[in-house]
Amino acid sequence: MRALVIAEHDNRHLKPATLAAAEAARQLGGGVDILVAGARCAAVAEAAAAIPGVETVLLADDAVFEQALAEPLADLIAGLAGGYDALLAAATAAGKNVMPRVAALLDVQQVSDIVAVVSPDTFVRPIYAGNALATVRSADAKKVITVRTTAFEAAAGSGAAAVKPVAAVADAGLSQFLERRVTESVRPELTSARVIVAGGRGIGSDGAFALVSQLADILGGAVGASRAAVDAGFIPNDAQVGQTGKIVAPDLYIAVGISGAIQHLAGMKDSKVIVAINKDGEAPIFQVADYGLVADVFEAVPALIDCLNR
C-alpha cells in the first residue's frame, strides 16, 4: 500500500488541511508521499518534507500550476497514480474541486469526506448531513479519497522526507485563470481557528453583527455565521458554517442567536466546547451545547465583552 497526498498551499505556505490528509494516509498503513504542485513553491515542499511519516515529496514546480487550476492538476495526479494505491486530499474547496476529476480520469469511484480509516479499503464517512455515519468498502484498485480535516489530528513530531522533482504536464487549455478575489482578514481562518464566535438570525441586523465580531476579536477567534445570517446579508457567505458551508471543529464554538438546525450542527457539532446563547430555552442548539445561556444576545454579549475587557 502506497499513498500520495495532494498538498494544499498558496505557493508560499502549506495549508494545515494537508496535515490531516497526511495523517489519514499514514493510517492506511503503507508508505506516504506528498505532491506539491505549484510555481516557485520550494518553501512549501520544505514544509511538506517535515510532516512526520512522509517519505518523499514530489515537487512539480511549473507556471502551469501557479493558480492551482483543477484541470492540469488532475492530469498531473492521474499521471502519477500508477505508482500509488491511494490518492488523498483534504475535503476542502480545493480538494473537492480536483479529486472528482482525478477519480473520473482513473475511472474509479471517489470515497468522499472520510472521518476514519478502518482498513486500507474501508472507511467511515458521514451521510444525511452528518446524522449518520456509513462504513464503506471500496473495491476499486485505486482509492481516490477526500478527508474531513476536523476528523484527523496532525501527527506529532517532525520528518525529513526527500524532495524529488517531477515533470509538469502540458496545459490542455481547458481552463484559464482570470482573477482572484480574496477576502482579507486579520482574523484567523475559520477552518483552522481555535475559537469561533458565530452569529445567527437572532442577531437581527448587519450593524448588530459587530457584537459577534467584537467578541471574536477579544478571544482572538474567527467569525462564523448560520446560513440565515448570511442570507439576511449580515455577513458574507464565506463565514457560513454547516452542511453547505464550512466544517469546523475549534476548541471553543460560541453560537449566538443560532437555533441549531441540523444543517448548522452538521458543520460544528464536533467542536470541543460549545457555548450557546439563545433567548429560547427550547432551541435545539442547547442539545449539543456544553454550556448554555438562555438570554437575550443584546444583554449577554455586551456583558461578556465587558467582563473579558476588565
Ligand X SMILES: Cc1cc2nc3c(=O)[nH]c(=O)nc-3n(C[C@H](O)[C@H](O)[C@H](O)COP(=O)(O)OP(=O)(O)OC[C@H]3O[C@@H](n4cnc5c(N)ncnc54)[C@H](O)[C@@H]3O)c2cc1C
Interface with ligand X (CB under 6 A)? 200-202, 226-229, 240-245, 257-259, 261, 263-264, 267, 278-280, 283, 296-298
* Shortest Å distance, C-beta 234 to ligand X: 9
Q: Which of 135, 114, 97 is nearest to 20 (CA)?
A: 114
* Shortest Å distance, C-beta 26 to ligand X: 30
Q: How far apart are CA 60 and CA 102, in angstroms?
A: 17
Indicate the Cα dihedral angle 107, 109, 110, 114, nearest 10°.
-150
* Shortest Å distance, C-beta 138 to ligand X: 27
* Shortest Å distance, C-beta 98 to ligand X: 22
Phi/psi of residue 7, nearest 5 degrees? -75, 140
What distances in angstroms separate CA 308 from CA 200, 216, 290, 304, one per listed residue? 22, 11, 20, 6
* Shortest Å distance, C-beta 41 to ligand X: 32
Confirm if 39 and 177 have CB atoms less than 8 A apart. no
Confirm if 198 and 268 have CB atoms less than 8 A apart. yes
Nearer to ligand X, 168 or 266 (CB): 266
Nearer to ligand X, 126 or 200 (CB): 200
* Shortest Å distance, C-beta 115 to ligand X: 18
* Shortest Å distance, C-beta 265 to ligand X: 9
Scan for cell 457555548, then name that residue.
275
Nearer to ligand X, 38 or 242 (CB): 242
Nearer to ligand X, 106 or 297 (CB): 297
Taking every pair of Cα atoms in the chain, the longest distance, rounded to a whole number of angstroms, is: 61
Scan for cell 517532525, then name that residue.
158
Confirm if 162 and 57 have CB atoms less than 8 A apart. yes
Nearer to ligand X, 200 or 250 (CB): 200
Written as nine digits, the cell of 250 is 475549534
Nearer to ligand X, 187 or 201 (CB): 201
Q: Which of 16, 7, 17, 15 is nearest to 38 (CA)?
A: 7
Q: How far apart are CA 26 and CA 298, in angstroms?
A: 47
Nearer to ligand X, 72 or 202 (CB): 202
